[in-house]
Structure 1
Amino acid sequence: MTDHNVKSDTQGDGGDVIDCIDIYKQPALSHPLLRNHTIEMIPPPYPNENETNSSHQDDEQVLQSWLSQEECPEGTIPILRTQAFNSSTPKSSPPFNITDVQFTPASGHEYATVNLLGGQYYGAHASLNVWSPLSEFEENSISQIWIAGGHGQARSTVEAGWKINSADKQTRFFIFWTGHNYKDGCYNLECSGFVQVNRKFAIGLPIKPVSTYNGKQVEIFLSIYKHQSVGQWWLMVQDQALGYWPDKILPSLKGSADTVTWGGEIYNSEPGGRHTSTQMGSGHYPSEGYGKASYFRNIQYLANSGKFVDADELITYVTKPPCYNLIMQNKATGFGTHFYYGGSGYSARCPK
């Protein structure tokens, strides 16, 4: 077994300090339900393996340029020493009651999302372009996939995407989980829960480069999936498996999920009594289309059949269209089921 702290003071591209930690001494294994957990080093076969998105741009380099010079030794995983990624804004899931499809957002949270409700879902994936939108007053701008199950305090979720806040001003890859409706769980590896097996990716580091308006679009491929025969929700970024959430810590995801969501979320603290200027997505409205607006493409979910299938019967949900909106698109070659979303926040179009 390797030392607890094999290598430290590795500088990430955003100035973050990365430590290489013995894989068997990572935070996940201190969870009371995981103390006798045996780490699964190899993910189960990826569904539709021959049909996965082949256009992942620059793979690892899109996510973390520090990997071109550094990576952790065998038997260790990289962990950010400091969590500059944190903010005071509370995390919230899309506010769906799947029994009657009523939408009641948590106070201050606004959404532009598409959703599958009320089925049996074992995963979801999509490619999404990455931006660096304006964020103010320590508010968050988030673009992500949510997979959720259960109701009320029993609600469990696993989540992944990109996020930016005003305190940090860097677009960072993130993961999140909760077993009990946001009363537990955390971002990244800030608490016990997510089991990382990949020694190349430090979860929480900045994504660089990002997309440019009317220029090159940089995107990441995200996939969360579960084989019905195993109890883990695996996370894949580009073509790399990062690790998994054991369903022991997710009471309402021990079987399938009942809700899958793709899209954007911001927190509006209403500074000075007006709407926030925090932007969603690229900060531009979906009507501007490719190269200018944010998008999710090739949206699919993992069905009972064990195959990823197109998400055709999607419910769109937009809390405040003048501020942030969403437009579904017809299927297109290379883009499949897709949508554009986002907006500027406070403006003449969005005064309150």
Structure 2
Amino acid sequence: MVTFTTLPPWKTQEPEFECVDIYKQPSLQHPRLINHHIQMRPSDEVLAMLSMDSSKNLSNDKAVAEFDMPEEGCPEGQVPIHKPRNSNYSKKRFHLNGYGTIGQHAALIHKTEGNSWRGASAWISVYQPKVTKDQLSMALIWINSEYDGIRNTIQLGWGVIPQLYGDYRTRLTTYWSPDNDDEGCYNMLCSGFVQIDSTLFLGTPFTNISEVGGKQYNAFFSVNQDPKTGNWILTSGRIYIGYWPGELLPFMDDGAEEVRYGGFTNAESENLQPFDIVSPPMGNGNKPQEEEVDLKYNCYMHHVQYVTQDYKNVEIDSNKVAEDADAGKCYDVIYLDNFGSMRQTFIFGGPGGFCDV
């Protein structure tokens, strides 16, 4: 039987973030960013892509998920930096690109074309999968480029990661890697991401969580390479959170070679045999079924889009998408193609369990 271990109680009065001078934030201390100029706003081209608001197409039983963030935010000229409960978490040797190995699994769709992509976006239903303290479960968009065995990657979406956050809340979560996976990190545990917004920061928890069979809460995530600067712009809804500087992602200068969307899980596997490893639920814990699809009972992404080489925001091509679930006994993914007003949509998830035997 799986038991849930209660984490140490954190002082509720202790703020989860600290406000720092925008020009003195940790990422700007990176040696490659000595002469970097902060990009205070996206270019007009990126803003034009973000202006196409698809939230008006959400049905009555779906709403935009809100973040549990301070109303006033940081003072002018300062930005919030999340204070993780475990600052050593970046040293753990498991990575989102390692799915399909012992303890790490994914259910996703990915582009099958051999082109480069300038960005990706989707609306993601927000759930809170029940994990133990040594597990994590995430729903993400991720883009990659690789050269000579070295990978640049950016992942963004939501995650439940008790060892990182000190609780079981669903939070805005990112992961990125500048040179190879071992040098990457979550959120701002290493220097790289430049925070711009004064209120919404990486690691912010969600206020609203979807209910299986009930009210659905969706959050919009996007990452776009800015044609003017080469920086990779992160937004949620219409909020410009910040960016990963192009100087740190040299193999993505001409765009990303891979675009993937879906769920990822990890379970503690060190010093364990495969039959002892218990994987956590993905999405809302339900494994998708093809018969009579009802989104209220599935974790899903909709309005799935990517950005072409010439910076056009388009829907994914249903003829050039592949499904991939490496642990079919535990998780699955079903691409629904053009699903009414939700446009390009897929469902994913599963209960987890003994997935490695």
TM over 0.5, shorter chain? yes
Shift of the alpha carbon at 1:128?
0.2
Unaligned ranges ≥5, structure 2: 1-9
What amino acid is aligned across from residue 340 of structure 1 in structure 2? Answer: I
1:62 — aligned with what? 66
Would you say the 8 A contact 1:111–1:266 is kept in 2? yes
CA deviation vs aligned residue, 1:247-293 (integer Å, no higher than 9, x gap): 11112112211000100011133667245141001111122631121
Query: Which stretch has the larger CA shift, 268-277 or 311-320?
Result: 268-277
Would you say the 8 A contact 1:72–1:199 is kept in 2? yes
SS at match of 2:244: strand
1:116 — aligned with what? 111
Shift of the alpha carbon at 1:13?
8.2
What amino acid is aligned across from residue 52 of structure 1 in structure 2? Answer: D
Would you say the 8 A contact 1:110–1:268 is kept in 2? no
Would you say the 8 A contact 1:133–1:141 is kept in 2? yes
User: 1:188-227, aligned counterparts within 5 Å?
Assistant: 188-227=187-226
- In structure 1, distance between residues paired with 2:280 and 2:81: 29
Would you say the 8 A contact 2:128–2:284 is kept in 1? yes
Tell me the TM-score normalised to structure 2 length. 0.84
1:7 — aligned with what? none
SS at match of 1:218: strand
1:281 — aligned with what? 283
Go from structure 1 to structure 2 and tell me whether the alpha carbon gap of 1:58 and 1:318 turns closer, same or farther (over 3 Å shift): closer
The count of corresponding residues between Structure 1 and Structure 2 is 329
User: 1:195-274, aligned counterparts within 5 Å?
Assistant: 195-269=194-268, 273-274=275-276
Identity percentage of aligned residues: 29
The one of 300, 313, 323 equivalent to 1:316 is 323
SS at match of 2:66: helix
What amino acid is aligned across from residue 49 of structure 2 in structure 1? Answer: N
- In structure 1, distance between residues paired with 2:213 and 2:14: 29
Go from structure 1 to structure 2 and tell me whether the alpha carbon gap of 1:229 and 1:115 turns closer, same or farther (over 3 Å shift): same
Shift of the alpha carbon at 1:153?
3.6
More helix by share: 2
Tell me the TM-score normalised to structure 1 length. 0.85
RMSD of aligned alpha carbons: 2.6
- In structure 2, distance between residues paired with 1:297 and 1:16: 34
CA deviation vs aligned residue, 1:66-98 (integer Å, no higher than 9, x gap): 333x31111110112343587575442446xxx
- In structure 2, distance between residues paired with 1:31 and 1:212: 42
1:343 — aligned with what? 350
What amino acid is aligned across from residue 123 of structure 2 in structure 1? Answer: S
What amino acid is aligned across from residue 295 of structure 2 in structure 1? Answer: Y
1:298 — aligned with what? 303
Does structure 1 residue 157 correspond to structure 2 residue 153?
Answer: yes
- In structure 1, distance between residues paired with 2:350 and 2:70: 33
Does structure 1 residue 330 correspond to structure 2 residue 337?
Answer: yes
- In structure 2, distance between residues paired with 1:293 and 1:341: 7
Does structure 1 residue 307 correspond to structure 2 residue 302?
Answer: no
SS at match of 2:183: coil
What amino acid is aligned across from residue 181 of structure 1 in structure 2? Answer: N
SS at match of 1:28: helix
Go from structure 1 to structure 2 and tell me whether the alpha carbon gap of 1:343 and 1:58 turns closer, same or farther (over 3 Å shift): closer
CA deviation vs aligned residue, 1:13-60 (integer Å, no higher than 9, x gap): 89643211110010110100001211010111224345332348876x
SS at match of 1:341: strand
Shift of the alpha carbon at 1:146?
0.5
Unaligned ranges ≥5, structure 1: 1-10, 96-103
User: 1:46-57, aligned counterparts within 5 Å?
Assistant: 46-55=47-56
Would you say the 8 A contact 1:141–1:266 is kept in 2? yes
2:76 — aligned with what? 74
1:4 — aligned with what? none
Shift of the alpha carbon at 1:127?
0.3
The one of 130, 139, 148 equivalent to 1:143 is 139
CA deviation vs aligned residue, 1:277-317 (integer Å, no higher than 9, x gap): 41001111122631121001011110023211111111111
SS at match of 2:182: coil
SS at match of 1:323: coil
